[in-house]
Copies of this chain bind each other. A is one copy, B any other.
């Protein structure tokens, strides 16, 4: 088997190591944040992310689908979690005047408060684990990489099985 042949079906060992490590680290990060959040603040990482996205938005409200896009889950999962958060009083649904199908999910005062309680704890964790390790240049570099990956994902979303663009065509 030719070297190029090998390369085309498998990954070079070092590159493979980076990928494996990437998966491993992202999973561990996710896991650790989730655990900290649940133990100290009684909410899931998903729920926390919903609160954050809402707080970051104009009017502190977002549409269900918009939320689903931002936290990258199925719509049904958003319905499920918004129900939970509503029960907790951290979030409320409001009718959408311009679209009768639509629902605005809005952060309540209690939700805002809960977020402000939880955020420092999580942000210090994220800083300690993730951000303190990189300087400005590296952050910029990483951001650039993330941008490219994101664009690539957009492209794959348009053409999930890569039929349209066969090898640099």
Interface residues of A (CB under 8 A from B): 9-11, 14-15, 17-19, 21-32, 35-36, 49, 70-73, 119-120, 123-131, 133-134, 138-139, 141-143, 145-150, 152-153, 156-157, 160-162
Cross-chain pairs A/B with CB under 8 angstroms, 14 sampled: A14-B143, A15-B139, A18-B131, A19-B126, A19-B130, A22-B146, A24-B70, A26-B26, A26-B30, A27-B72, A28-B153, A31-B72, A32-B156, A129-B153
How many chain copies does the complex carry?
2
The A interface, classified by DSSP as helix, strand, loop or mixed, is helix
Bound together, the chains give a CA A146 to CA B29 distance in angstroms of 11
Q: Which residues of B contact A31 (CB under 8 A)?
A: 72
Q: Which residues of B contact A23 (CB under 8 A)?
A: 49
Contact A150:B14 (CB < 8 A) given known A126-B19, A156-B125? no
